[in-house]
Structure 1
């Protein structure tokens, strides 16, 4: 993932695949509906802690790699 927009797209796709509405995901994640809307739209100023809670609710995780790792190096 290289942008908040990519994360938002993944979250939207997974939410829909699980048959959840935005308000359902917000409630299950402990965040507000506006946060989910902004996150799915790729708003750059979303709070990382809340993003991680939403990802965990969906059963997703965020992986970080150091430069050169995971790129066939």
Structure 2
């Protein structure tokens, strides 16, 4: 498991995962359904990227997000309540 505290750390980790899988940035963009520019910016640690697209890239690389230290959600899927 990789602990991430900054957007730069996230970008570095995702770049390393992409390279380990032998994917180009273009191939990853296609697999995740995002643009090449998004992959370039994500790997550079740009802090203003869409979370939804970032999650798509993480999923395309076979990863997942785990939140530690936060209380577990209760009830259903409440959006912003």
TM-score category, normalised to shorter length:
0.7 to 0.9
Structure 2, unpaired ranges of 5+? 71-81
Shift of 1:35: 0.1
Alignment of 1:60-71 (within 5 A): 60-66=63-69
What TM-score results when the alignment is normalised by the length of structure 1?
A: 0.87
What TM-score results when the alignment is normalised by the length of structure 2?
A: 0.79
As a proportion of its length, which structure holds more helix?
1
Runs of 4+ aligned residues of structure 1 deviating over 3 Å after TM superposition are none
Q: Aligned partners of 1:45, 1:5: CA distance in 2, in Å?
A: 12
RMSD of aligned alpha carbons: 0.9
Alignment of 1:31-70 (within 5 A): 31-66=34-69
> Highest Rg: 1 or 2?
2
